[in-house]
Chains A and B, each alone.
Chain A
Amino acid sequence: GAVVSQHPSWVICKSGTSVKIECRSLDFQATTMFWYRQFPKQSLMLMATSNEGSKATYEQGVEKDKFLINHASLTLSTLTVTSAHPEDSSFYICSARGLAPAYEQYFGPGTRLTVT
Chain B
Amino acid sequence: AQKVTQAQTEISVVEKEDVTLDCVYETRDTTYYLFWYKQPPSGELVFLIRRNSFDEQNEISGRYSWNFQKSTSSFNFTITASQVVDSAVYFCALSEANRDDKIIFGKGTRLHILP
> What is A's interface to B at a CB cutoff of 8 Å?
1, 32, 34, 41-46, 49, 91, 93, 95, 97, 102-103, 105, 107, 109-110, 112
Contact = CB atoms under 8 A, between A and B. Distances in A.
Contacts of B103: 34, 46, 95, 105
A43 B108 CA distance: 6
Contact of A46 (B33, B37, B104, B108): B104
Contacts, number: 48
B91 interface: yes
Interface of B: 33, 37, 42-45, 47, 50, 52, 91, 95, 97, 100-108, 110
B45 A103 contact: no
A49 B43 CA distance: 21
A61 B43 CA distance: 24
Contact of A1 (B47, B95, B106, B107): B47
B44 A105 contact: no
A97 B101 contact: yes
